[in-house]
Structure 1
Amino acid sequence: MKITIIGTGLIGSQLADKLTAQGHDVTTASLSSGVDLLTGAGLDKALADAHTVVNVTNSPTFDEKSVEFFRTTVGNLLAAGERAGVAHQVVLSIVGVDRVPQLDYYRAKLLQEELLRGGPTPYSIVRATQFFEFMEPTMSWTSDETSVRLPATPVQPIASAEVVDALADVATAPPLDGILEVAGPDRFTLDEIGRITLTARGDDRPVVVDAQAGLFAAVQGDVLTPGPNARLAPTHYRDWLTT
């Protein structure tokens, strides 16, 4: 199967390697390869003869400008896909994206989903929880030399490699015309994750619960955790930290 992956970051690069190892004909597309989603330049060549397109791009900003980024890029990608005869469009999204309207980036990602659902091509949406790899950067936003401040927001993080596994399975199967949620096996609050991470790193700073700290301070309740039908990955956060 010929598969084009739009985006070559943490997920896109792993996905390309996995699908290539499975024997698929994989093309990766990004600015560095001459593909500009905002203008559409290079898309027709990147999508030529592709059966499936997997979109794992991120907006360069997480503010209100991200809304227009996804509006433009999804429009260009769907139009190019229709011209190329693409049979399946896959997008990576976020668990809870439809339940946090106060976050600009989540509203933008929800628009991305809505445009895909309304487009001309059969589709699949994979919603993932926060990645293990992003836990420490999330902590750094509200850390100083003496403490780490985090809200008690419930999350159920997942290793990026296991998001890749789910994307590979979806990309090589018939379109869902719906949503698959994927998450890790364990539910924590962010402050719990902070303590677990600091302990594993030998860092003795205390974690202070602060409902106003960081990006997820705007999140109320357990909206970032998956529903009962989610695909749960096997790797535990504590085990991942040791490796």
Structure 2
Amino acid sequence: MKFAVIGGTGLIGSQVVQNLNAAGHEAVPHSLSTGVDVLTGQGVDAALAGADVVVNLTNSPTFDDASPAFFRTSMDNLLAAARRSGAGHFVILSIVGADRVPELDYYRAKTLQEDILKAGPVPYSIVRATQFMEFVDDVLSWTADDDTVRLPRTPLQPVAAADVAATVTDVAAGPPLGGTLDLAGPDTYPLDELGRLTLTAKGDRRSVTTDDTAGMFAAVHGDVLTAKYGARIAPTHYTDWLK
């Protein structure tokens, strides 16, 4: 099969392209760097021409109230082009629990992206993943100074990017789900404990202070960002990934 992987040069997209090609498919990466602009529509029809499956892994450049407009415009352009090209499957990557955190602009935007896909003209699959292990350092940096990292006790279930890419690959190569598959790592940690574990593993002498008002995840209530019954559990443990 032929796959058009939009956002195919990024962290997940580049691995999905590699996985699909290794499995004997034809997967072509597309991004701004290859001349495809999902906001203006430039290069989109050419990128999707002849594709059996469209995998959209593009992301908003910001996490603020501009992100809904990005996802609406990009999805409208990509779905229209997918319909014109005759693609039979459209896959996106979203976030576990995104629809349960309306306080966050970016999570509302990802929920909007899902809703646009569900209402669109192409059979679809949605893969929802928990927080990437690769982004934990970024999360810590949001509320850090030279001596202390302030973190809430929000439960997270981090997943390795390689496991996310493997699952997106499996779903893209299969029949459309017409629904959602949740993916999570095997272990759940309160974010403050995850921070302590990370700093210790890296030999970082800063201390973690529990502060349920600190950072973006302070807006999350309860365990909505962790996997529920029926989710796929990835094999990579965070402690092993840290090594």
> Taking structure 1 as the reference length, what is the TM-score of the superposition?
0.98
Alignment correspondent of 1:4: 4
Instruction: Please report how far the alpha carbon of residue 129 of structure 1 lies from its aligned counterpart in structure 2 after TM superposition.
Output: 0.2
Alignment correspondent of 2:184: 183
Identity of matched residues, %: 62
Instruction: Please report how far the alpha carbon of residue 141 of structure 1 lies from its aligned counterpart in structure 2 after TM superposition.
Output: 1.0
1:79-134 Cα shifts (integer Å, max 9, x gaps): 00000000000000000011000000000010000000000110000000000000
Distance of 2:178 and 2:151 partners within structure 1: 37
Q: Secondary structure at the match of 2:196?
A: helix
* Aligned ranges 1:129-208 → 2 under 5 Å: 129-208=130-209
Instruction: Please report how far the alpha carbon of residue 28 of structure 1 lies from its aligned counterpart in structure 2 after TM superposition.
Output: 1.0
Distance of 2:206 and 2:104 partners within structure 1: 29
Distance of 1:236 and 1:32 partners within structure 2: 33
Instruction: Please report how far the alpha carbon of residue 20 of structure 1 lies from its aligned counterpart in structure 2 after TM superposition.
Output: 1.0
Alignment correspondent of 2:233: 232
Distance of 1:116 and 1:219 partners within structure 2: 25
| Superposition misfits of 4+ residues, deviation over 4 angstroms | none
Question: Are 1:113 and 2:114 matched, yes or no?
Answer: yes
Alignment correspondent of 2:34: 33
Distance of 2:222 and 2:179 partners within structure 1: 25
Which amino acid in the other structure matches residue 46 of structure 2? K
Distance of 2:194 and 2:98 partners within structure 1: 21
Alignment correspondent of 2:129: 128
Q: Secondary structure at the match of 2:3?
A: strand
Instruction: Please report how far the alpha carbon of residue 212 of structure 1 lies from its aligned counterpart in structure 2 after TM superposition.
Output: 1.3
1:194-217 Cα shifts (integer Å, max 9, x gaps): 011011011222110011111111
Q: Secondary structure at the match of 1:168?
A: helix
- Compare 212-221 and 181-190 and name the one that shifted more: 212-221
Distance of 1:12 and 1:32 partners within structure 2: 13
1:149-199 Cα shifts (integer Å, max 9, x gaps): 100000101000000010000000000000000000000010011011011
Which amino acid in the other structure matches residue 93 of structure 1? S
| Long gaps (5+) in structure 1 | none
Which amino acid in the other structure matches residue 177 of structure 2? L
Which amino acid in the other structure matches residue 194 of structure 2? I
The number of residue pairs the alignment matches comes to 242
Instruction: Please report how far the alpha carbon of residue 234 of structure 1 lies from its aligned counterpart in structure 2 after TM superposition.
Output: 0.9
Question: Are 1:57 and 2:54 matched, yes or no?
Answer: no
Alignment correspondent of 1:209: 210
Which amino acid in the other structure matches residue 6 of structure 2? I
Q: Secondary structure at the match of 2:51?
A: coil
Distance of 1:236 and 1:79 partners within structure 2: 40
Which amino acid in the other structure matches residue 149 of structure 1? R
Q: Secondary structure at the match of 1:69?
A: helix
Q: Secondary structure at the match of 1:98?
A: helix
Distance of 1:178 and 1:237 partners within structure 2: 28
Alignment correspondent of 1:92: 93
